[in-house]
Every structure is written in C-alpha cells, then in structure tokens.
Amino acid sequence: MATFAKTALSDLANKIVIDLAADTTAEVDLTGTTGSVYMIEIDATAGAATTAEPGCYLKLIDADTGVTGGGGSGSTPEMVLYAPIGKKTTYVISGGWAFGTGLSLWAVTTAPVAGDVSPTSDVKVTILTT
C-alpha cells in the first residue's frame, strides 16, 4: 500500500507570539529560531490618543543578540510600523517577512532610532509567524 507523509502546517505560520506590553526594552529572539512573519496585530486600545502621544511605533529587527531597543544607542530597526493609540491595527504581510537570525522587537512613542519613550498604556503585540 502506498504511503505518504506530510508535515502539518509546513507552509503556514504556526506560532503565535504575544507581547502583552511592548515597550522600549527590546524583546529578543522571540521564537528562538529563524522564520517568517505573516501578521502583526498592534492592540493599543488600552490607551487614548492625545496630542502628545497620538500613536506608537513598533520596531522590528532581524537579530538574536545585541538588540538594545530604544535609546541613544538603540538598534536600527528593519521594519517600523505605526499604530494609533486607542485603536487596534493589523498588518498582514503576504509572502512573509523572513528573519534569518532572530525576531526581536520593541515599541516606543516616536519614530527616530533614538526614541526611548515607552507607550503610556499597554500595547499588546500579537505576531503570527513560523
């Protein structure tokens, strides 16, 4: 009898990474391996937008060490995603963003690399990845 074998979900994102309160402190090598990011949800509904803090910036880098997050010696993010405070924003990446070293991220309230101010309210980040 013929046999076959399949690896379940081999071509699909099969990991969910959740950071309940992303801030300027980098979360490093979240999956512990290489992979691709297919979806990022930034839930900033815990706060309310203000003139001083209309949104936050989720910054991602393909690195598994030496990631310093925000600050004057901050790492240079490879991907920056803006999300308004008070809203839930989703980015879907068809084809996936491949990270060949490690998936690391942090969140701050300003766009510059040196931005070091964490969002005032919790910003929950959920990532669908491999």
Among 63, 81, 85, 127, binds other proteins (CB under 8 A): 81
Pairing of strands 15-19, 103-108: unpaired
Binding piece for other proteins, criterion CB under 8 A, among 5-13, 20-28, 77-85, 119-127:
77-85
What is the rounded end-to-end Cα distance, in angstroms, of the chain?
A: 33
Number of residues assigned to the chain? 130
- Residue 110 contacts other proteins per CB under 8 A: yes
- Residue 73 contacts other proteins per CB under 8 A: no
Q: Give the footprint of other proteins on residues 86-105 (CB under 8 A).
A: 89-95, 97-98
Beta carbons of 111 and 80 less than 8 angstroms apart: yes
Q: At residue 13, what is the residue type?
A: A
Among 35, 70, 77, 102, binds other proteins (CB under 8 A): 77
- Residue 13 contacts other proteins per CB under 8 A: no
Nearer to other proteins, 77 or 118 (CB): 77
* Dist CA 17 CA 103 (whole Å): 10
Tokens of 85: 């405070």
Tokens of 5: 């074998």
Contact positions vs other proteins (CB under 8 A):
57, 76-84, 89-95, 97-98, 110-113
